[in-house]
Structure 1
Amino acid sequence: MSETTTQRPQRPRDRPRTEPTHPGRPWRPAPDHDPAAGFEHMYRANIDAVTAYFARRSTDPQTVADLTADTFVEAITSYTTFDPRRGTARAWLFGIARRVFAKHCESDARRRERAVRLAGRRELAASTRSRSRPRPCRRTTPCWSPSASTAAFSTSPWC
């Protein structure tokens, strides 16, 4: 009885690479390559996935739409730098989406901090409330106090 050994086929990650991942010369599209058509194809193929990415992170539909639009604006402005040898278009878009969402979170946190800082003053303790009442006026001349109908001098002891 002869023993036969069968080798399992190599998986893609086990196969030796025949060419470097990042060769020395930059990637150039084919001369007949239309960037607008390429971006449109990438947009149509990934718009639902990018929208779902933001929908899982935000409950506001307007924010989801804004973040999705910001992602594709960033993508269209840097589309010429996209190199398909470095990764898929989907991974490239999700990298942009991650940065757009991080920027949104940072600006939202700054906005909330400003709102808390500018929201008002803290409530005074009961012991300081008694000292915050107006004091009697110690002036010897009447104080100027404009009223709604006419401007007149105030004779009130509290000015």
Structure 2
Amino acid sequence: MFFNASVKAALCTAAAMSALLIPAAGSASAVSSASASASASGETVGATADSFDAKCRSHSRTYVLKKYYRGPKFFTLRCGTSTWGWKHIKARHGWNSTMDRKIDAAIWSGDPNGRGGYSTYLNQCPRVEKFRTIIGTPAGTNDLLTAYKVDQPAVASAAAC
């Protein structure tokens, strides 16, 4: 009887551990696993300007092109206009797979920047902000307004060094 209970306990533990190792569908590791398998198969990784351009031509400014995740919460990139969203980012700051990755990194693991978005910083003292996103548009409070490269010291942390 004791042997049967210990076998059950071992199987339950093994099942729980394997569930922890398999990424959930919306997690960052699942996304990176999907990207890695897509790039291994020769498919295009990341969002291309041409595909977004085609989608925005046939949809309204509020059409959701992509979702960026921060834990269970997500922020949307909409087609937008010349003053916000993808059309704004493409026209004012340029759009390519690098911009897409920087936005993803800033939202996923960046620090809140006090402008309603998230920023990434160089690992030095004083901290230097290298990329900024700003969240909140006329279409929604969880929408990406803009994203751009920044090269300036963070005011709040400059004195902390």
TM-score range, shorter chain: under 0.3
Larger strand proportion of the pair:
2
Highest CA radius of gyration, 1 or 2?
Answer: 1
Larger helix proportion of the pair:
1
TM-score normalized with structure 2 length? 0.22
